Structure 1
């Protein structure tokens, strides 16, 4: 008995591949898949393996309204830094969890979401998605400790300048473990 060439699984496979090839459907599918992966909460770096920032000097940023931000202003504070792009499906997938975290911690934690894209592209993305946090662009070179070859790349820094989290890829930033860690970092002197 000969097996038919067009089985249901073969047809589904071909349709999925076709959807991933078509530019208009590729990004929504990738974002959907990344949201599933972003359900994982990032893990804290053990205290003995943490690096301290070398300096808060020489990193200048600009927000979407043209306001300058000197990274030196973040010294002594808890800082959340996320490098991202509007075309990056994992970045887009984790944005809602960052927005939820920002809603509760924006007055206690410095949130720096940094992209190297044109400001009009970033502003369109922000208004389309109604995110509440501010986006930044680097005016000067990014400090060596934050140099990365992949995005999203996220760092959580404590008040003393220690890098407590260093996460590459999408994550659930609104998880109970991240919130507990932020509460602990904010309570410490």
Structure 2
């Protein structure tokens, strides 16, 4: 009986060390982290109660897209806005991107999508091409408005036409959920 327990402990130790090794080796670490975060990204973000919503008062923010075109965030004023801070190397960001793409596909003409990365265009464009994402990604030229207190990524804000932050989510989320779509539909009617 002792030998069998000892053998089981050895197998569990081997499995433990394999898992640790996979998480330490750079080639396997990111896919595993993305897989784990996809599980977390199944959850829809929650809506902020009206009395607790903060208002974006300053739209003074300049950005540049991957083709070098300037974007003045002021042009988003009076529209429903989806702002997402992300990076190509960030597993939670990668995990939520398919849901962002699906939402973008259906709402790109009615919602301003502002996806922001500090990375070089040479890193962003191959990532977008690899996954067939067609949303526009911007690099910030000036500091973002103070309301966007971004200390970690991904960080996403859904803003109504009056500049009120309706959703503020740090971490991966399912942005293509029925809940998010219902909120956007209501915001578009206001």
TM-score computed with the length of structure 2 as normaliser: 0.96
- Counterpart for residue 174 of structure 2: 172
Partner of 2:149: 147
| CA deviations over 1:84-104 (Å, ceiling 9, x no partner) | 011100000000000000010
Query: Superposition pairs for residues 102-113 of structure 1, below 5 Å?
Result: 102-113=104-115
Q: Of the candidates 21, 27, 30, which is equivalent to residue 27 of structure 1?
A: 30
Q: CA–CA distance in 1 between the matches of 2:93 and 2:17?
A: 27
What do the CA deviations read for 1:24-64 (whole angstroms, capped 9, x no partner)? 0000000000000000100000000001112112x001101
Q: Deviations over 1:130-189 (max 9, x none)?
A: 10101001011111111211000000000000000110000000000000000000011x
The residue that corresponds to 2:158 in the other structure is 156
Q: Which 10-residue stretch deviates more, 6-15 or 135-144?
A: 6-15
Q: Which deviates the most, 91-100 or 48-57? A: 48-57
Residue 49 of structure 1: which of 49, 52, 60 is its match? Answer: 52
Q: Which residue of 1 aligns with 2:41?
A: 38
Equivalent-residue separation in structure 2 for 1:37 and 1:97 (angstroms)? 12
Partner of 2:89: 87
Deviation at 1:124, TM superposition (A): 1.2
SS in 2 for 1:184: helix
Which residue pairs with 1:99 in the alignment? Answer: 101
CA displacement at 1:4 relative to structure 2: 1.5
Alpha-carbon offset, residue 14 of structure 1? 1.2
| 1:125 shift after superposition | 0.9
In the comparison of the two structures, how many residue pairs are matched? 187
The answer on 1:129 being equivalent to 2:131 is yes
SS at match of 1:146: coil
Structure 2: runs of 5+ lacking an equivalent: none
Displacement of 1:129: 1.2
* 2:167 matches 1:183: no
